[in-house]
């Protein structure tokens, strides 16, 4: 089977996965938005911000490296041990820092959520790293079964637990259930099974080569969450809940498109990375398709924000309406320009992502304080948009550089 055909088949399976999981997510969002208050979503958002920050701070780039390497199996044991150590560190930091974090955000309701969500990274550390073979070997049908089962369990339990408790703790309970299911399935569905046998050479190689992935992850986190942190700190958890709802609601349909293509094209790009003409043709086709789909979906969110918010979320979420069109434009730009990310990783140029994301952060952070102080959450949305716009020329420059010079190493 040619790589184009394999990519089309992969996109089909991943698209089915995304459509079904996002349909469940849509139902989950509607139910939770009508059960919980914006302030409760904000408290949960604080817990997610902390978890996300610590995960990127300790990111080792294991998955990227396992895809890049031709012989994956020899790295599995070392990758597993790295993941376990990382999970233990993250969990301990969250539990120890919970009271200080809640105080920083003036959110006492976040403390219990932080304690419980601290279990998640510890459990995640024990997932079998071999699951990366689904993506590496283009086994997307198996990945569909794997991911859908996990997400279905997560969403179902989160909805039931939140309806019973009337508390965002229910969302985290669903989260934990999904992680436990992922651990079990990762050992049932894919081999080899890792063992506690560390190879120092492979261990250090993972740590060393992952530094650019770590840097890119930290900058990417700051770009996508600096506005959330500032909104939560300056405006409180109610404003944070409203902003995060608007952000996720406007971004998910658009960025899901880019994520589907990135997941499929990354391993394909790796396989054809030595053939520049073929790689360039595949990249251009992918980017054009992403652009058309992102603009179509973005236009709907831009033209009908009030109708969408009232129908889906209800009256108490009306403050989301003004920021929805701005964040939709942001999502379209991010989806199109971000199509280069898979290209950079495929040719081993993780540093390009680090540099571009750092530029995006500067574009966001420089204007965000005055804009938030003057315009509230609307100012935060404008800051995110500015950050995405300033990065576009750099995406173009580095993509062009790959096709005009010998960038593979």
395 and 288 in a common domain:
yes
192 and 244 in a common domain:
no
235 and 101 in a common domain:
no
48 and 169 in a common domain:
yes
Number of domains within the chain: 2
Closest CA to 243 of 223, 229, 257: 229
Closest CA to 336 of 283, 383, 290: 290
172 and 56 in a common domain:
yes
* CA atoms of 293 and 347, how far apart (whole Å): 26
Q: Are 134 and 8 in contact (CB under 8 A)?
A: no
**172 to 16, 101, 162: CA distances (angstroms):** 26, 18, 9
The contacts of residue 15 (CB under 8 Å, 6+ apart) are 260
Q: Could you give the residue ranges of the DSSP H alpha helices within 58-166? A: 62-68, 76-104, 110-117, 119-124, 133-136, 140-165
341 and 399 in a common domain:
yes
Instruction: Classify 275 as helix, strand or coil.
Output: coil
* Dihedral sign of CA atoms 40, 42, 47, 48 in order: positive
197 and 117 in a common domain:
yes
* CA atoms of 176 and 304, how far apart (whole Å): 35
Range of the domain at 128: 1-201
* CA atoms of 47 and 42, how far apart (whole Å): 9
107 and 245 in a common domain:
no
Q: Which among 154, 183, 201 is the end of a domain?
A: 201
Instruction: Classify 2 as helix, strand or coil.
Output: coil
342 and 242 in a common domain:
yes
Closest CA to 363 of 342, 335, 392, 337: 392
* CA atoms of 242 and 10, how far apart (whole Å): 35
Q: What is the pLDDT along the chain (409 residues), one digit of tens a residue?
A: 455 565 556 556 666 776 777 777 778 878 888 888 888 988 888 988 888 877 776 555 566 666 666 676 777 888 888 889 888 988 999 999 999 999 998 889 899 999 999 999 899 889 998 888 777 776 777 888 888 899 899 999 999 999 999 999 999 999 899 999 999 999 998 888 888 777 666 666 666 655 556 666 677 777 778 889 899 999 988 999 999 888 877 776 666 677 777 767 777 787 787 888 888 888 888 889 888 988 998 899 899 999 988 887 888 889 999 999 999 999 888 888 877 888 887 787 878 888 888 898 899 999 999 999 999 999 999 999 999 999 999 998 998 888 886 544 4
134 and 36 in a common domain:
yes
Q: Are 402 and 277 in contact (CB under 8 A)?
A: no
222 and 194 in a common domain:
no
Q: Which among 166, 201, 236 is the end of a domain?
A: 201
Q: Which among 179, 201, 223 is the end of a domain?
A: 201
25 and 166 in a common domain:
yes
Cα end-to-end distance, the chain, whole Å = 27
């Amino acid at each position: 089977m040619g790589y184009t055909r394999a990519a089309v088949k992969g996109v089909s399976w991943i698209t089915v996965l995304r459509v079904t999981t996002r349909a469940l997510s849509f139902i989950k969002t509607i139910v939770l938005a009508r059960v919980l208050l914006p302030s409760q979503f904000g408290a949960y958002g604080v817990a997610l911000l902390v978890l996300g920050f610590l995960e990127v701070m300790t990111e080792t780039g294991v998955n990227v490296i396992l895809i890049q390497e031709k012989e994956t199996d020899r790295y599995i044991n070392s990758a597993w041990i790295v993941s376990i150590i990382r999970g233990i560190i993250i969990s301990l930091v969250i539990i120890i820092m919970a009271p200080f974090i809640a105080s920083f955000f003036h959110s006492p309701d976040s403390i219990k959520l932080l304690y419980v969500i601290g279990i998640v990274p510890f459990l995640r550390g024990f997932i079998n790293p071999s699951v990366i073979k689904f993506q590496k070997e283009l086994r997307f049908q198996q990945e569909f079964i794997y991911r859908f089962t996990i997400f279905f369990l997560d969403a179902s339990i989160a909805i039931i637990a939140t309806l019973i408790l009337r508390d965002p703790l229910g969302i985290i309970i669903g989260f934990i259930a999904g992680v436990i299911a992922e651990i079990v399935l990762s050992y049932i569905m894919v081999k080899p099974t890792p063992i506690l046998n560390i190879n120092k050479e492979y261990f250090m190689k993972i740590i060393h080569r992952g530094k650019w992935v770590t840097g890119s992850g930290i900058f990417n986190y700051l770009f996508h969450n600096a506005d959330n942190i500032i909104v939560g700190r300056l405006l409180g958890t109610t404003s944070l809940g409203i902003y995060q709802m608007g952000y996720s609601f406007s971004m998910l349909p658009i960025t899901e498109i880019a994520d589907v293509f990135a997941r499929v094209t990354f391993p394909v790009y790796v396989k054809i990375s030595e053939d520049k003409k073929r790689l360039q043709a595949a990249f251009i086709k992918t980017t054009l398709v992403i652009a058309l789909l992102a603009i179509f979906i973005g236009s709907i969110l831009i033209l009908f924000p009030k109708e969408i918010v009232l129908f889906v979320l209800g009256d108490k979420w009306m403050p989301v309406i003004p920021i929805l069109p701005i964040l939709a434009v942001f999502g379209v730009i991010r989806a199109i320009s971000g199509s280069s990310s898979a290209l950079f990783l495929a040719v081993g140029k993780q540093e390009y992502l680090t540099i571009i994301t750092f530029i995006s952060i500067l574009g966001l952070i420089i204007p965000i304080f005055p804009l938030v102080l003057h315009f509230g959450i609307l100012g935060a949305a404008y800051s995110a948009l500015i950050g995405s716009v300033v990065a576009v020329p750099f995406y173009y420059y580095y993509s062009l550089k790959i096709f005009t010079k010998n960038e593979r190493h």
